Amino acid sequence: MRSTRLAGIGARLITAAMTAALALSVAAPGVSAQEDGGDLVVGVTSDADTLFPWKATQFQAFTMLGLIYDNLVELDQNLDIVPGLAESWQISDDGMTVTFTLREGVTFHDGTPMTSADVKASLDAILLEETGAVARAAISSISSVDAPDGSTVVLNLSTPDAGLLAGLVGPNVGIVPADATEEALSNAPNGTGPFAFGERAPNESLTLVANEDYWREGEPTLGSVEFRVIPDEASIVDGLRSGAVQLAELTDPIVALTAEGDGITIEKTPQLAYHVLMINHTREPLDDVNVRLAMQCAIDRQEVLDTAALGEGAVIGPITSPAYLSDPSARPCPERDVDRAKELLAEAGYEDGITIGGMYATGEYATAPNEAQSLQSQLADAGITLELEPLEIGAYVDRWLAADFDTTVALNGGRPDPDTMYGRYFPSTGNLNQVATYSSETMDDLFARGKASGDPDERKQIYADISRELEDNAVWIWMFSGNKYSALTDDVQGFVPMPSTSLQYLRTTTVE
Amino acid sequence: MIRGKRVARTLAEATVTLVGVAVLVFVMMRVVPGDQITASLGIEAGNMTEAQIDALRAYYGIDQPLHEQFFGWISEVASGNLGVSQRTGQSVLEMTANSLPVTIELALFATLLGVLIGVPLGMISASRPNSRRDAGAQFVGLAALSVPSFLLGALLLTIVARVLRYNPNAMGYARPFEDLSLNLQQMLMPAIVLGFALAAPIMRTTRSAILEVRSQDFVRTAIGKGVSPMRIQIRHVLHNSLVPIVTMTGIQLGYLLGGAVVVEQIFSVPGIGRQFLIGMQQKEYAVVQSTVLIIALLFLLVNLATDLLYRVIDPRVRSG
């Protein structure tokens, strides 16, 4: 313990010395001394559960590793694809190859240059099943990777894949040195991102220091970022109030709304993740479309949002990504219609009502029990009895994966690209199709066309069709998406919250 | 000879208890749904191929048959290797070396506060039973018992942070040898919360013990002999009431050494309770199992120490 602390202090001294040397040697205008932006403390409720980027799914790990590792391409704050380690890219006319031209002069934090060999090795390893990388499915259309020269990478695809670029974003597909092992990276992360690994006291804090050789001129502006573990969100707010913490991303609307004011600014960002009632189509009577439509008509989504999440969020359709946003009023029964629900139920032959199970997770996210209860009372008005079954998260995940439920209240992650978001659920070949329990030829056809099309307008139309198909069949009941709350003290400048969990704009942030 | 037998018996009992705890925690961890893979990946686990899941099972060591996992773990523990956390790469021994001193400091601090509040309150309360003074002291004791620590802790922290803009617990945990002043500031609020809760049972035990002792003949004799009331209270009554008070304090201290999960969460104190909780959330079998064993061992040790303390306080225990 002591030795790692000393090592950390040593690393800091070296960094400080390097910063000073840089500031002295570079007098040219336009290059700022990078420690000017100050040192920022971010409050987080948990330490990263892994430092290995390809296996990180936990929100905190994702956030921290996103600052350490870069990708070929990135998303900006509008979730548009922008260049990253690749300066430019070319998609062949048949959509079967993507050629990236890499930025020159990029180095890893340990000083070795980043070349096409590192990109190839990283992608090859992610695609290898033994690696256990979580992003494998998202980039599985890649059949092979070539590195014809030091700054060119060619992806050969097995099928055209319009969602591929979006699948190449995030620490799960982070580029690591070709010779790095999982064990080495778990102890000493080594990327090309704006911040380098500094020191860590497990479960207490993790400090990143500015990467002086970062390829974006003049960034990062901060000297260091410390992620300090304060397990309770309300305690983080108390930390912001005393000034010991300057930034935090909060999820509990009650905590966030009471934190505002008094030197703390709260910025709300709509999330891509969506709250939904998933329906198991293999169970009677839920295999009957009229029964599902009856449920759809019996539910006022705004009321669920109001009672469960204080109205903090927006009623949504299936696709939450801004570029492909579904219109929530384009569904059967956009307004609650209990009479219509009863009619539909009668048409399905259930005049006396039905009883179905409703599973939800406790302790995972704050709103689940309230959502379930709101649904239960609304469905009851139409003669549908929802028998609630609260489960601890471990049990919930087991049952979810086995599709062992009638219906379940879920908070599923959203993606910027609708194919990465739903391509795993609804095409019959999707990895999670056995959980979605719904497929059709129309759906398969639409997803195949969406994936193959390179024309943005055509894709928009295809995913609008998918969205309508999902709603018309009441495949699931999409309810709302919530907000994320970025809490900042008044001395923090230049931070831009993302609709995803990324804190990438810490690279342009300063603190006085 | 007799002493040797006693020691052997105590050791045998302790071993049986520890083995029982080991079996229990091992079985419970396996019975609870979910494993390390679903705990770290959640529903993303469904997005992985069979081969990927198999690779992960091997990585986490949960591809072995259960009995092999159990005996593998137990024999490693017996040889001093408590296992490693895959999350942080730290060994459980290292983690415990960091977290246990924190917990011990907090537990002792809290116990001290609990005794300092509880014993005088109990004495006040017993000095005139069923009086207003007694009712007042009892009310404080009841309040301490009824207010849950998560409420008291959150309230205390919020008020102090809002009004005084002071929150040492958000400054990052400081070890005593790094910054003693900050360390003590960080321990103060959680110790108050825990000590307050601890004061209630100590106060009630003190009260009833004193009432019982005071009704005994030797106290009346002492009063008759003209011993000063203060001396009677401290030297005679309190001293002879100590056994139940020490027992109660020892039990409470034992619980506190098991980690005060809730209070550690609120005040960001990296003690052994949090080590257990984090292990549990991540389903890190080795971390949970070995941490529970350590906690059980501590409990046994505190009980043993309490036992020994009786002999110091009360010579009658020694002869019996």
To test the contact with chain B by mutation, choose from A62, A397, A437 the residue with the greatest count of B C-beta atoms within 10 A, namely: A397
Tokens at A81, concatenated: 């694809």
* Ramachandran category for residue A351: left, alpha or beta (phi over 0 → left; psi -120 to 50 → alpha): alpha
Task: Tell me which of A185, A211, A237 is where a domain ends.
Answer: A211
What integer pLDDT is reported at residue B147 of this predicted model? Answer: 87
Task: Tell me which of A211, A240, A264 is where a domain ends.
Answer: A211
**A266 inside domain:** no
Paired residues of A195 in beta bridges: A210
B157 contacts A238? CB cut-off 8 A: yes
B275 contacts A394? CB cut-off 8 A: no
| Rg (alpha carbons) of chain A, rounded to whole number | 24
- Find the closest chain B residue to A48 by CA distance: B87
Query: Structure pTM?
Result: 0.85
In angstroms, the separation between the Cα of residue B142 and the nearest Cα of chain A is 27
- Using an 8 Å CB-CB cutoff, list chain B residues near A241: 161-162, 165, 167
**A509 inside domain:** no
What CATH number corresponds to the domain at position A299? 3.10.105.10
A179 shares its domain with A327: no
d(CA B288, CA A66): 29
A338 shares its domain with A469: yes
A302 shares its domain with A438: yes
Distances in Å between the Cα of B15 and the Cα atoms of B18, B19, B141 are 5, 6, 37
B161 contacts A137? CB cut-off 8 A: no
A17 shares its domain with A145: yes
A58 shares its domain with A195: yes
- Using an 8 Å CB-CB cutoff, list chain A residues near B274: 203, 231
What integer pLDDT is reported at residue A34 of this predicted model? Answer: 45
What integer pLDDT is reported at residue B319 of this predicted model? Answer: 55
- Find the closest chain B residue to A42 by CA distance: B170
d(CA A412, CA A169): 19
A394 contacts B283? CB cut-off 8 A: yes
Cβ contacts from A onto B, under 8 A: 160
With a threshold of 0.95, tell me whether the complex ipTM lies above it. Answer: no
**A410 inside domain:** yes
Tokens at A33, concatenated: 């001394």
Residue ranges in chain A modelled with pLDDT below 70? 1-35
Task: Tell me which of A196, A211, A226 is where a domain ends.
Answer: A211
Residue B1 pLDDT greater than 60, yes or no = no
d(CA B136, CA B125): 8
A202 shares its domain with A278: no
* Residue A173 per-residue DSSP state: G
- Using an 8 Å CB-CB cutoff, list chain A residues near B157: 234-235, 238
Helix H, strand E, coil C: the string for A12-63 is HHHHHHHHHHHHHHCCCCCCCCHHHHCEEEEEECCCCCCCCHHHCCCHHHHH
- Find the closest chain B residue to A261 by CA distance: B162
Extended strands (E) in A158-312: 195-201, 205-210, 224-229, 247-250, 264-270, 274-279
Per-residue pLDDT reduced to its tens digit, B253-271: 888 888 788 899 899 999 9
Q: Which residue segment(s) compose the domain that A165 sits in?
A: 2-211
A325 shares its domain with A438: yes
- Find the closest chain A residue to B34 by CA distance: A394
d(CA B27, CA B42): 22
Lowest mean pLDDT among A435-449, B12-26, B55-69: B55-69
B33 contacts A236? CB cut-off 8 A: no
**A168 inside domain:** yes
**A228 inside domain:** no
Sequence-separated (6 or more) residues with CB below 8 Å from residue A473: A289, A292, A438, A440
Per-residue pLDDT reduced to its tens digit, A169-197: 999 999 999 999 998 999 899 999 999 99
What would the mean pLDDT of B172-181 be, rounded to a whole number?
90
Nearest 5°: phi and psi at A359? Answer: -95, 145
A46 contacts B39? CB cut-off 8 A: no
Per-residue pLDDT reduced to its tens digit, B146-156: 888 889 999 99
Contact A104, A192 (CB under 8 A): no
**A260 inside domain:** no
A433 shares its domain with A326: yes
Domain count, chain A: 2
d(CA A41, CA A206): 10
Contact A315, A327 (CB under 8 A): no
Q: What's the CA angle centered on A304, arms A299 and A307, to 5 degrees? A: 145
Place of tokens 């890499």: A102
Residue B2 confidence class, pLDDT cut points 50, 70, 90? low
A193 shares its domain with A297: no
What integer pLDDT is reported at residue B3 of this predicted model? Answer: 67
**A79 inside domain:** yes
What would the mean pLDDT of B111-135 be, rounded to a whole number?
89
* Residue A141 per-residue DSSP state: T
A160 shares its domain with A63: yes
* Residue A190 per-residue DSSP state: -
In angstroms, the separation between the Cα of residue A117 and the nearest Cα of chain B is 24
What integer pLDDT is reported at residue A125 of this predicted model? Answer: 95
Torsion angle defined by CA atoms of residues A240, A246, A251 and A256, in that order, rounded to the nearest 10 degrees: 40
Judged on CB neighbours under 10 Å (0-12, 13-18, 19+), A10 is exposed
| Residue A254 identity | I
Sequence-separated (6 or more) residues with CB below 8 Å from residue A372: A358, A360, A386, A388, A390, A409
**A451 inside domain:** yes
Contact A511, A490 (CB under 8 A): no
Judged on CB neighbours under 10 Å (0-12, 13-18, 19+), A268 is middle
d(CA A250, CA A483): 9
Smallest Cβ distance to B38: which of A133, A226, A397? A397
What CATH number corresponds to the domain at position A116? 3.90.76.10
d(CA A452, CA A430): 16
What integer pLDDT is reported at residue A35 of this predicted model? Answer: 52
A92 shares its domain with A174: yes
State the DSSP H helix or E strand holding residue A149, giving kind and residue range, or none if neither: strand A142-149
d(CA A315, CA A455): 29
Which residues 255-314 on chain B approach chain A with CB closer than 8 angstroms?
264-268, 270, 274-275, 278, 282-283
Nearest 5°: phi and psi at A497? Answer: -70, 150
Tokens at B195, concatenated: 């000590």
A456 shares its domain with A361: yes
